[in-house]
């Protein structure tokens, strides 16, 4: 009997999550790629506030590691007509970039002659 009750609760939670995800998709606040969920609150903020909000939500700032993840981030850029912060920083070597944890980038999709070092990458 207990197992059936637990299964019923799990199914109810799954339905609620599915409905919420549907609403977020309609509002262009969430998208997926490769099993990862990318989300936004649609508000403008500086880099540090963005990192803080991501951490509070149990996630991290977006770091595109393949074309699909890059497209997921681009979805928000196009939907909100705004730039997006990425979890990437310039390394100690000028014009070389790395993930925030210091590991080397394994995927990039820079425009020709970018990053240019003008601070607007």
Model pTM score: 0.73
For residue 51, give both structure tokens.
């990192």
Spell out the alpha helix ranges (H) of the chain.
Answer: 2-26, 47-56, 67-80
pLDDT digits (tens, 9 = 90+) for 19-49: 777 666 666 788 889 889 898 888 889 999 9
Q: What is the pLDDT of residues 44-79, one digit of tens each?
A: 899 999 999 899 988 899 999 999 999 999 999 998
Q: Please give the CATH superfamily to which domain 1-99 belongs.
A: Mannose-Binding Protein A, subunit A (3.10.100.10)
91, 97 in Cβ contact below 8 A? Answer: yes
Look up tokens 């997006």; give the residue.
84
The dihedral sign for the CA sequence 108, 121, 28, 57 = positive
Q: Please choose, from the candidates 44, 14, 40, 36, the residue with its C-alpha nearest in 3D space to the C-alpha of residue 25.
A: 40
């Amino acid at each position: 009997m207990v197992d059936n009750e637990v299964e019923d609760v799990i199914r109810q939670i799954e339905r609620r999550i599915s409905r919420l995800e549907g609403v977020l998709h309609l509002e262009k606040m969430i998208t997926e790629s490769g099993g990862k969920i990318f989300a936004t609150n649609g508000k403008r903020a500086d880099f540090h506030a963005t990192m803080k909000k991501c951490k509070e939500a149990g996630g991290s700032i977006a770091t595109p590691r393949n074309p699909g993840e890059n497209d997921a981030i681009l979805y928000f850029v196009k939907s909100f007509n705004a730039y997006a912060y990425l979890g990437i920083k310039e390394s100690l070597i000028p014009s070389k970039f790395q993930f925030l944890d210091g590991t080397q980038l394994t995927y990039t999709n820079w425009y020709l002659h970018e990053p240019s070092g003008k601070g607007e990458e």
